A and B are shown apart, each in its own frame.
Chain A
Amino acid sequence: MSWNDRLSNAVQSIAPSGIRKFFDIAAQMEDVISLGVGEPDFVTPWTIRESCVYGLERGYTSYTANRGTLELRTEIANHYKKIFNVEYNPDTEILVTVGVSEALDLAMRALINPGDEVLIPEPCYVSYAACTILAGGIPVAVPAKIENEFRITPEELEPYLTDKTKVLLIGYPNNPTGAIMTRQDLLKIADFAEAKDLIVISDEIYGDLTYDGVHECFSALPKMRDRTLLLNGFSKAYAMTGWRVGYALGNPDFIGAMTKIHQYTMLCAPITAQMGAVEALRNGEKYMHKMVAEYDRRRNLIYDGFKNIGLESFEPKGAFYIFPNITSTGLTAEEFAEKLIMAEHVALVPGTAFGKSGAGHVRCSYATAIEKISEALNRIEHFVKKSKGGKL
């Protein structure tokens, strides 16, 4: 029996992850330093872990409401009111999901009819295009430019508009580039969305990891609340990736449609994770700020490091990635990543794993200890010197 004839066309049309290969090589090596990890190196703050353990001891092991516990939805609503002054009704406008990934999948399935197009600025997180395709939509990549520090403008989006364009999917602070959008940048996008009547999905999972400034919440912009689906979660800011808890905020009809799919597929996010998330919002802020301050120092260190090595990079303003340009080595991003891990045992991810416009760049995560970053920079410098001297 040939399974290729039987598997869905949508699944078959999705290219395998560009990351897998580096994972396989790195997993074999003992002394590898990985700058390829897209999650915090901190473990979840103890107060959050402890609240989950306490919950288990008291027997909190059941399903929760489909939308998530009212306690958590209320905390999320309070948080957005307090930080961004944007209000969401915990009963109708908030859905707790199994990470932002589930929320994105639900959003696409709730919105997309066959052939609908989704504008996706690239480079971007690997799931955006895949979720669009699986929902029957067509992802339309809009390359963001290094000259503009990987921010996106209406002028760049405009040529990709068709009468099938339904959604604009943005993710800032950005994985893999570390780019952020200023309020001015976002206001232009908001006007564009309004003029073209687009639904905006804004993935703000890295919002708390914004340096040299404050994060701007897209739905808090004038007139954007109703047309925006805001996605966020606890994975990055509170170092809770493995807990799998995120949420979507938006219009009650949209959230209702997503909840319909969620109740038949996922049912609810794990109760223990939801209890941890409540504790994160109630008492986790100071630990989060400590982690963010540490990421910021590492960001400065790695930015200087690449400058000294002679690999040009713009200064990342958010998330925990830097996206240096490696074209001066004469190598492609894949060659650079593959030769680097073989020669120097440093793992990173070629920019092309995040879209074609990531060519000539590599993504380095600085969610790793200072000593490891310093050692990795030494090894990369050694590698770049050799490759520029033609010794590779």
Chain B
Amino acid sequence: MRELLEILERNSRISTGELASMLKKSEYEIENEISRLEREKIILSYGALINWEKFGDDKITAVIEVNLTPQREVGFDSIAERIYRYDEVRTVYLMSGNFDLLVIIEGSSLKEISNFVATRLSTIEGVTQTRSHFMLKPFKKDGVILDNEEQDRRLVVTP
């Protein structure tokens, strides 16, 4: 049920009752559908999109291009797994183009991240090269503009 997923992707706090009304289903049907989507791992988790910078956290995010030597039978999968198992790693994508994996890492300082790259990431067997880029400012994340200055400018009552 695509529409249900689209609503939840934007707002997972919406109540079952509201969902039922919006989609013209019973609450029972909505609950069943959500359980099924969770069971089948189509819905993976419910989170909030947080502007940590605004909260006051000085997190550092690095986007790292990683080149690999593919391995027989498993290709890039097993190296990718060795990388994504680390808690510090937020995101891992296999890419086409000049590098193989795009790895996004979060840490509390430059030192922590460079340490991670130097001692953990680049020492993994099969990793041939890394290029780290530090993120300076996020503007839009997962479809949400972080400092959106668009506001409701409509008059309060109009015909």
Contacts and interface: CB of A to CB of B under 8 A. Distances in A.
Interface of A: 17, 19, 22-23, 26-27, 32, 34, 36-39, 41, 43, 125-127, 175, 293, 297-298, 300-301, 303-305, 347, 349, 353, 370, 374
Contacts of A301: 18, 21-22
B155 interface: yes
Pick from B7, B23, B156, B158 the residue with the most CB of A within 10 Å: B156
Contact of B158 (A19, A127, A298, A304): A19
Contacts, number: 60
Contacts of B22: 297-298, 300-301, 370
A349 B21 contact: no
A390 B11 CA distance: 38
B125 interface: no
B154 interface: yes
Given A300-B23, A370-B14, A370-B18, A26 B157 contact: yes
A23 B159 contact: no
Nearest to B13: A371
27 contacts: A17-B159, A19-B157, A19-B158, A19-B159, A23-B157, A26-B156, A27-B156, A32-B156, A34-B156, A36-B156, A37-B156, A37-B157, A38-B159, A41-B154, A125-B159, A127-B159, A297-B3, A300-B24, A301-B18, A301-B22, A304-B21, A347-B157, A349-B159, A353-B159, A370-B11, A370-B14, A370-B18
B157 A349 contact: yes
A62 B82 CA distance: 62
A297 B11 CA distance: 14
Given A41-B154, A297-B7, A370-B14, A305 B21 contact: yes
A43 B153 CA distance: 9
Nearest to B15: A374
Interface string B116-159: 00000000000000000000000000000000001010111111
Interface in B21-78: 21-24
B156 A297 contact: no
Interface residues of B, number: 17
Q: Which 8 A-B pairs have the closest CB atoms?
A: A36-B157, A304-B21, A297-B22, A26-B156, A23-B157, A301-B21, A34-B156, A126-B159
A27 B22 CA distance: 30
A23 B156 CA distance: 6
A152 to B, nearest CB: 20
B158 A36 contact: yes
Contacts of B155: 23, 37
Contacts of A293: 3
A17 B159 CA distance: 9
Contacts of A349: 157, 159
Contacts of A370: 11, 14, 18, 22
Nearest to A28: B156
Contacts of A127: 159
Nearest to A337: B157
Contacts of B11: 370
A293 B155 CA distance: 24
A39 B154 contact: yes
A210 B155 CA distance: 25
B69 to A, nearest CB: 43
Contacts of A300: 21-24
Contacts of B150: 43
Contacts of B158: 19, 23, 36-39
Contacts of B157: 19, 22-23, 26, 34, 36-37, 347, 349
A265 to B, nearest CB: 22
Contacts of B21: 300-301, 303-305
A303 B14 CA distance: 17
Nearest to A125: B159
A51 B43 CA distance: 37
Contacts of A34: 156-157
Given A17-B159, A36-B157, A297-B23, A41 B18 contact: no
